[in-house]
Homo-oligomer: A and B are copies of this chain.
């Protein structure tokens, strides 16, 4: 089915009528180190949404390109909106969709910094029975595969992300810079002292902006990750399509 934005009102009426689930790609535009494009996270979100958008039971929405990235602002080109603004933008977008009768939604998310805001939005949308809108993070869907493939603690602009965007947008990746990314990067996300998180920004713990082992990346690994994650997303859509809407809503007081 074509994406919603390509539809006329007539086509949109049909598409929404036929659809069981909407997918809303959410990403960011923020530093991914010297080798990867700033758009990494919204490219990923868009690509995964695209992978299920052909289905007759899915409507796909435009990609939300700027997310919650205040912790990347010391790196050139990073854009951010506050968690409150991002939450409002996606919530109201889904509320619109709900007015047309589509109330099962998947946030196809490419950016970890969006997760908390999306969770709050999803809670609110469910509490008012506007929509049931779980968040799907592609990296969560291929956790085991990434662990098999790469020897990294991972976190940001790592081997998994580098591989994925290399597969999706070879033209926007600079493979020669992966070595610098790793050399100036960190082994694991964050900075902790005696149980307290004391590194609030990525610059606090990585000079290159990367966290993980990007030199282990390859477009082939990216293709595998993409296929595996896309399969999981498809399965999630199947599950959600089959789930009665009444089962989606908030449970009553015990």
Taking the complex as formed, is A179 at the interface, i.e. its CB lies under 8 A from any CB of chain B? no
Q: Using a Cβ–Cβ cut-off of 8 Å, how many residues does chain A contribute to the interface with B? A: 98
Closest to A229 in B: B195
CA distance A43 to B250 in the complex (A): 29
CA distance A79 to B181 in the complex (A): 39
Residues of B within 8 A of A122 (CB): 200
**Nearest chain B CB to A209 CB, angstrom units:** 6
Q: Please tell me which one of the listed residues B65, B75, B203, B233 contacts residue A63 in the complex, with CB atoms under 8 A apart.
A: B65
Taking the complex as formed, is A66 at the interface, i.e. its CB lies under 8 A from any CB of chain B? yes
Q: Please tell me which one of the listed residues B43, B88, B143, B194 contacts residue A236 in the complex, with CB atoms under 8 A apart.
A: B194
What is the copy number of this chain in the assembly? 6
A77, A197, A229: which has the most chain B beta carbons within 10 Å? A77
Residues of B within 8 A of A8 (CB): 32-38, 174, 177
Residues of B within 8 A of A63 (CB): 65
Select the stretch in A134-142, A148-156, A215-223 that faces chain B.
Answer: A134-142
